[in-house]
A and B are shown apart, each in its own frame.
Chain A
Amino acid sequence: MSESKNTGDVSSRLAELRERFVVRATSDLLALEALASGFSRGGVDRAQLFDACQRLHRLAGSAGTFGLPELGESARALEKNLKAAVEQADQDGVDPVPVSGDVIQRMVALRSMLQGRGQQGPLSASSRKESTSPDGVHGLRIGVAVITDGADGGAMAPLRNDLEAYGFDCRLVSGSDQAVEAALRDWGVGAMVLLCDESRMEAVAAIRGSINGTDGGCLSLIALGPEDSFHSRYQVAGLGADAFFCHPPNLPELTERIEYLALERTAKVQGRVAIVEDDTELAEHYALVLKTAGIEVCSVTDPMELMGQLSSFQPDIVLMDVQLGRFSGETLARMVRFYPQWLSLPIIYLSSEDDPDNQLTALSRGADEFLVKPVSDSYLVRAVQIRCFRARQLSRLMNRDSLTGLLKHSLIKQEVEKELARCRREGHESCVVMVDLDHFKSINDTWGHPFGDTVIRTLANFLRNRLRETDMIGRYGGEEFLVVLPRCTQEAAAELFREIAEGFSQLTFTSGPETFHVTLSAGVSAVGHHGSGEQAVEAADQALYLRKKAGRNGVTVYGMPGTTS
């Protein structure tokens, strides 16, 4: 027991360290990407190459330790390539150093190796799980396959451009059932949603079944039908569809559903549970059972430490013993509710109390549910998983903006404060970015509010698809967004948003026969340069204001008004 507890502890700590490494590596990779995109084939400055080599060297020596051997190998190969290029240039007496386009492309592609890390090998034999952000699919490009009958796509073809505009990786897949299956298997993206016509539903459901059977079940299926009747809905539900839309679908609704399905299918972490139990052996047993199922556990054996541990661990739910020595679980539950941040925390009693009347009394005093001891291991895992999932759904509903699914104003502001605290503690540089759609009023006035909503939602998806999993995005005001980029320099943030602004300006919006483009402006400030999160946000806002005055469509860094584009 102590042996297995020990290795369990080591592997969970390894997983934590790995998460930290991924954050750090991401900033290296962003910097490399920024460097590489500044490289021209004609030649590169030696100082920049030196910087790139150092970052590559660090990745080469560390990525494998954190379970990312492929990333490490690629970094090592690139470091060699760059060094060879410098040596060659020295021999030939050439300056700046010529670097081949292939090497530049491979540098830019490094970051995708980090993003695909869910599919890669384990950190080591004894660790299996990794934790990921439960409530946000950004960092993950969602693949959508539109299954059509003819190569021209027929009635489904226009969907592809629409969905691409929303930031999905969308493809038309056609041909026989075998051809469709082969195309889907070859694609291999993290999450995938299939769209097909009702008439082909049965065959596609069979293909999905065959792929999901071998691949862990990450494909969702949406049917489109010509008429919205009980009969057709019932039929596609019977065949296993996850959603049904009338053709042509309402795009914002369809994209929202695609995001939701992708999120649901890829939610890897099953939850975080605090166990309050004074019987240490029982607590250890519960912890082991839950950890084995991928649930993160914090054991509280001394009730006096409960509040502190809740704050540091931030559980989704609490499992509470009814009697802990001289303390009563009921009273503890009531005490937890004294703190506003824990008002909605589900508390589940573990008790041998099987009299429903006594259970009700306990429920009325602050607990939410009962699990009656003894519980079997598998029952415990399932009961906890379901409750964690619900708790997360609920907190998502409460914390997320309904139009965009992004964090609400107050929450993203809290994230800025938290990031400021992390910067001070750990000494890294992080940025906040205020983003605003240009001339949004006239978009609303010209095309109507529903269309304005579409533009806002498009930008939300666009940001989600372009940013890292560790970045936080909130809807700050009507058409204003606030982004927190942990471990990111001002230069990297400015570069990133230059690209985002450019990409967004290239999206084509269609309203009836007319098409047009929308641009955005962004202001960047470094969190750590300011006394409070609020001041950092204020600074980003001022930078945004300067950007607007300087002609919009681009990025300005606070304190560096020259850095515009």
Chain B
Amino acid sequence: MPVQADSVQRILYVEDDPDIRSVAELALVDVGGFEVLLCESGREALDSIDDFGPDLVLLDVMMPVMDGPETLQALRARQGGLDAPVVFMTARLQPSEVEEYLEMGAIGVIPKPFDPMTLAEQIRQLVSTNQGADRRDLR
């Protein structure tokens, strides 16, 4: 499914740290102009993704109970799977790790800490870089 840069308007963001959630909300909504649904756990994301219908899913990697990769698997295991592209965010950025997430089908990895003034821009760039690229394994 090709992703258009301007087709991404609704972002589902899963992050357990409330401070980071607040600053990301500011970065994505006020600075970036996205519509955002904030979830504090993978469980919450599973419960609300169908109602929200995101164009992109942004996942923190390190979370208690269900981490980012597990959340991605659970989202895909739902009936109907996951159409929206996925971006991971992580504080532990090793090349091997990035490769691992890309192999899982993520379109990109954003390192933490992020700059709230440019986060939205980073996401748009990731999306437009992936535009038209052959990513059949995205699902």
Q: Which A residues contact B (CB, under 8 angstroms)?
A: 6, 9-10, 13-14, 17, 20-21, 24, 57-58, 60-66, 69, 72, 76, 123-126
Contacts and interface: CB of A to CB of B under 8 A. Distances in A.
B23 A66 contact: yes
Nearest to A24: B19
Interface in B103-117: 112-117
Contacts of B23: 14, 17, 21, 65-66
A215 B118 CA distance: 31
Contacts of B20: 61-62, 65
Contacts of A14: 23, 26, 116
Interface in B84-124: 90-92, 112-117
B113 A13 contact: no
Nearest to B19: A21
A136 to B, nearest CB: 24
B73 interface: no
B48 interface: no
A57 B31 contact: no
Contacts of A9: 30
A61 B91 CA distance: 5
A57 B62 CA distance: 9
A59 to B, nearest CB: 9
A13 B62 contact: no
B94 to A, nearest CB: 11
B19 A61 contact: no
A24 B17 CA distance: 11
A531 B127 CA distance: 51
Most A Cβ at <10 Å: residue of B22, B113, B114: B113
A17 B30 contact: no
Most B Cβ at <10 Å: residue of A65, A66, A125: A65
B113 A69 contact: yes
Contacts of B17: 58, 62
B19 A20 contact: yes
A526 B63 CA distance: 27
Contacts of A61: 20, 62, 90-91, 112-113
A64 B113 contact: yes
A21 B31 CA distance: 19
Contacts of B112: 60-62, 64-65
B91 A124 contact: no
A124 B117 contact: yes
A474 to B, nearest CB: 28
B91 A10 contact: no
Nearest to A23: B19
A58 B16 CA distance: 10
B116 A124 contact: yes
A65 B26 CA distance: 12
Given A6-B30, A21-B23, A124-B116, 7 more contacts: A14-B116, A60-B91, A62-B113, A64-B112, A65-B116, A66-B113, A72-B113
A62 B30 contact: no
Nearest to A60: B91
B26 A13 contact: yes
Contact of A10 (B19, B30, B62, B92): B30
A394 to B, nearest CB: 34
Question: Ordered nearest first, which 7 A-B pairs have the shortest CB separation?
Answer: A61-B91, A64-B113, A61-B112, A65-B113, A124-B117, A21-B19, A60-B91
B31 A10 contact: yes
A461 B116 CA distance: 38
Contacts of B117: 124-126
